[in-house]
Amino acid sequence: MTLSERNIIEHIRKIAGRPSVQGLIRGIGDDCSVFGGPGPWLVSTDMLVDGVHFNRDWHPPRLLGRKSLAVNLSDIAAMGGIPRYILLSVSLPPGLSSEWLFQWLGGVAEILSEYDCALIGGDTVTGSELNISVTVLGEQHPAGSLYRSGAGAGDTVYVSGVLGSSAAGLAILKHMEHNAEQGLKDTWQTLVDAHLDPVPQIQTGQILCASGWVTSMQDISDGLATDLSHICKESAVSALILAEKLPNHPVLDDVCEALNIRKLDCILRGGEDYQLVFTVRKGGEKTVEDLLQGQGKTAYPIGTIEKGRGLFLEKSPGIRQEITFQGYEHLA
Amino acid sequence: MTLSERNIIEHIRKIAGRPSVQGLIRGIGDDCSVFGGPGPWLVSTDMLVDGVHFNRDWHPPRLLGRKSLAVNLSDIAAMGGIPRYILLSVSLPPGLSSEWLFQWLGGVAEILSEYDCALIGGDTVTGSELNISVTVLGEQHPAGSLYRSGAGAGDTVYVSGVLGSSAAGLAILKHMEHNAEQGLKDTWQTLVDAHLDPVPQIQTGQILCASGWVTSMQDISDGLATDLSHICKESAVSALILAEKLPNHPVLDDVCEALNIRKLDCILRGGEDYQLVFTVRKGGEKTVEDLLQGQGKTAYPIGTIEKGRGLFLEKSPGIRQEITFQGYEHLA
């Protein structure tokens, strides 16, 4: 099968059709798509480049299709919103097989279905490298949006799940590339999955938004250190996080020892966990924890918001270390 | 100056700030931007790759910045809508100078200002080639949206301006690359400008939408033959266009003769003129022409919609030739 633009567009039209999505007035097929509804609307966009943000050598196309959308849905989760529409552009290098492409689109279709989103636009072009650009539109939660600004002294800092799994998963994949004969340890698969197929915390974001107790929130894409620093900067506060409180998957220790990587680096700077980091106003801790638990979700308190500026880590009682902006950035 | 992501984002934040744009609740700086307003909303996206959709050898960065947005605004024009918000992602190759980038962003800022749009999101990444992905959001015109479907037998087909200029301009640029010593003829500059700095027909689109007489519309990005074929297909009609009625810039003949290119090819298949092609219901021709003329705009009747399927060209009285889908596609 040839990778003609028309082939691809026909295929995309098939997976795009989700008449159940309310408010969609005109989908793919005209100069613009048209959507209505009360709003307000949330919008975010990400660009993913082969070899920079993902690696086709170890990223199965279906999972990459899922992740291409998931990382954008995570931005909607970070505001507490409801994802609705996706626009998906892709630049295809000449050597890319149609099998790869259709598996990738299969992963895209899965996420559309799982989160009840409609694909309402996009572009397919040729280029020398695979480049995936996704725009997501969501509706604001009736309770409003949660911003990075809003944290206040005395708030408790929480994360919605374990950290460092994705970074460790990536380290495992890189290790396996040169040591394939060792085989992947069964127990390590969870961390590999965390990297290849992250789960956007849509439901958790909405629960937190509705609770009325959350003062700021963002998703952890670049690592806790970087992302919590954004909250501190935008809220004009500082944060103190306690190393002993930082949650990680039980197998992380084993992986870090085996691969000789620093566990705290994975947790603080690893990035791509796509959990939420958020702050809860004093007095609301139990309410928020109970609300999440009632829906089978967990939240881990990891520290507190304080006056001042900067992000600090307490490794042992009384010993603080500033870790502001020590997460990694994709672009140096 | 180094091209750090933070440099670029700081610069983008500066050009993005347009508090005059109504309905913008939260701009760049959080996980999502947030916008309100009654809607419905129009959305479209395009991906542009260096060497495929543009050529940095002859495309000055400022004009490329303008065109990067203009081709997207043209999709809003094609629906009769009002452009509001832009999201702009770019993959930057290692060798790109900061001077180039900031000139390009200067062009972006010009278009934002000229069309009163706000830049509300984006992403900057590294890649091996320059890739520009733009998403535009607009408000639907109070009179509704004009789709490709809607043309009926008896309608007159119009275009909003001269055709073939962009294709001829591109031919001139390619010619000049190998014959720089000849110098560019002054009279040819208009065609070069048409290619490098196309003008989205926003006002014309809105006038046509408000007129109540226009039954279908789209912008001419891939060439009249391809784009009018889309209208025919979506409207389940055929169209007959008259070669003698097709408008072109007076200097086009001179260029085509000098460069040995076929004038009719430029006009029918050239693409990238970003004029509008639209159909007017029988009886509304004069009203529409007068409305446009009253705003200093022109429309050229080029043929009629008929029953049946396909797109036909009448080169001389009674001699019809089918030209359906003979425009070019960017991706074979």
DSSP assignment of B52-100, as one string?
Answer: TTB-TTTS-HHHHHHHHHHHHHHHHHTTT-EEEEEEEEEEE-TT--HHH
Q: Which residue has the higher pLDDT, A326 or B278?
A: B278
Rounded to an integer, the average pLDDT of A85-109 is 94
H or E stretch including A125?
A: strand A118-126
Please indicate if any CB of chain A lies within 8 Å of the CB of B26. yes
Q: In the β-sheet with B118-126, what is the strand arrangement from edge to edge? A: A24-26, A33-35, B41-49, B131-139, B82-92, B118-126
Q: Place A1 in a pLDDT band, splitting at 50, 70 and 90.
A: very low
Q: How far apart are alpha carbons A326 and A308 in whole angstroms?
A: 18
Whether A327 shows a pLDDT value over 50: the answer reads no
Q: Place B41 in a pLDDT band, splitting at 50, 70 and 90.
A: very high
Q: Place B18 in a pLDDT band, splitting at 50, 70 and 90.
A: low
From the CB of residue A261, how many other CB atoms can be counted at a distance below 10 Å? 18
Say yes or no for a CB contact (<8 Å) between B331 and A4: yes
From the CB of residue B175, how many other CB atoms can be counted at a distance below 10 Å? 18
Complex ipTM value: 0.93
Q: Place A5 in a pLDDT band, splitting at 50, 70 and 90.
A: low
Q: Which residues lie closer than 8 Å to B254 by C-beta, 6 or more apart?
A: B187, B188
| Candidate from B30, B48, B51 with C-beta closest to A147 | B30
Q: Which residue has the higher pLDDT, B200 or B185?
A: B200
Q: What is the DSSP letter of A145?
A: -
Contacts of B32 in chain A (CB under 8 A): 42-44, 75-76, 78-79, 81, 138, 145
Beta bridge partners of B216: B279
DSSP assignment of A64-111, as one string?
Answer: HHHHHHHHHHHHHHTTT-EEEEEEEEEEE-TT--HHHHHHHHHHHHHH
Q: What is the DSSP letter of A140?
A: P
Please indicate if any CB of chain B lies within 8 Å of the CB of A91. yes
Whether B213 shows a pLDDT value over 80: the answer reads yes
Instruction: Calculate the alpha carbon distances from A109 to A17, A112, A118, A139, A192 in Å.
Output: 10, 5, 9, 20, 22
Rounded to an integer, the average pLDDT of A10-22 is 70
From the CB of residue A60, how many other CB atoms can be counted at a distance below 10 Å? 15
The answer to whether A5-139 and A156-322 have equal CATH topology is no
Q: Is the pTM of this model over 0.90?
A: yes
Q: Place A184 in a pLDDT band, splitting at 50, 70 and 90.
A: confident
Write out the E strands in B183-308: 214-219, 238-242, 276-280, 300-306
Rounded to an integer, the average pLDDT of A233-248 is 96
Structure tokens, A309: 């500026």
Tell me how far apart the terminal alpha carbons of chain B are, to the nearest angstrom: 40
| CATH code of the region A5-139 | 3.30.1330.10
Please indicate if any CB of chain B lies within 8 Å of the CB of A48. yes
| Candidate from A39, A48, A332 with C-beta closest to B39 | A39
* Backbone φ and ψ of B141, nearest 5°: -65, 145
Whether A210 shows a pLDDT value over 70: the answer reads yes
CATH superfamily, domain at B156-322:
PurM-like C-terminal domain (3.90.650.10)
Rounded to an integer, the average pLDDT of A98-103 is 93
Asked if B79 and A30 touch (Cβ cutoff 8 Å), the reply is yes
DSSP assignment of A149-177, as one string?
Answer: TT--TTPEEEESS--SHHHHHHHHHHHHH
Q: What is the mean pLDDT of chain B?
A: 92
Q: How far apart are alpha carbons B221 and B214 in whole angstroms?
A: 20
Q: Which residue has the higher pLDDT, B284 or A324?
A: B284
In the block, residue with structure tokens 């003008």: B199
* Angle (CA) B118 B122 B126, round 5°: 145
Beta bridge partners of A157: A279, A303
| Ramachandran quadrant class, A301 (left: phi over 0; alpha: psi -120 to 50; beta: rest) | beta
Beta bridge partners of B134: B46, B88
Please indicate if any CB of chain B lies within 8 Å of the CB of A26. yes
Q: Please report the number of interchain residue pairs, chain A to chain B, with beta-carbon separation below 8 angstroms.
A: 212
R_g of chain A, CA atoms, integer Å: 20
Q: What confidence score (pLDDT) does residue A85 get? A: 96
DSSP assignment of B222-237, as one string?
Answer: S-HHHHHHHHHHHHT-
Q: Which residue has the higher pLDDT, A12 or B254?
A: B254
Return contacts of A193-196, CB within 8 angstroms, 24+ apart: A193/A169, A194/A165, A194/A166, A194/A168, A194/A169, A194/A249, A194/A273, A195/A165, A195/A166, A195/A167, A195/A168, A195/A169, A195/A170, A195/A272, A196/A58, A196/A59, A196/A60, A196/A63, A196/A64, A196/A67, A196/A169
**Is the torsion defined by CA of A286, A292, A298, A304 positive or negative?**
negative
Q: How far apart are alpha carbons B42 and B71 in whole angstroms?
A: 15
Contacts of A53 in chain B (CB under 8 A): 125
Rounded to an integer, the average pLDDT of A85-97 is 95
Secondary structure class of B114 (helix, strand, coil): helix
Instruction: Find the closest chain B residue to A125 by CA distance.
Output: B331
Whether A288 shows a pLDDT value over 90: the answer reads yes
Domain map (residue ranges) of chain A: 5-139, 156-322
In the block, residue with structure tokens 């409801």: A82
Q: What type of residue sits at position A139?
A: E
Q: What confidence score (pLDDT) does residue B325 get? A: 60
Rounded to an integer, the average pLDDT of B47-71 is 96
The stretches of chain A forming alpha helices (DSSP H) are: 5-16, 61-77, 98-114, 165-178, 189-196, 202-211, 224-235, 252-259, 263-269, 285-294
Please indicate if any CB of chain B lies within 8 Å of the CB of A205. no
Please indicate if any CB of chain A lies within 8 Å of the CB of B139. no
Contacts with A, B 211-240, CB within 8 Å: 218-219, 234
Whether A230 shows a pLDDT value over 80: the answer reads yes
Say yes or no for a CB contact (<8 Å) between B35 and A37: no
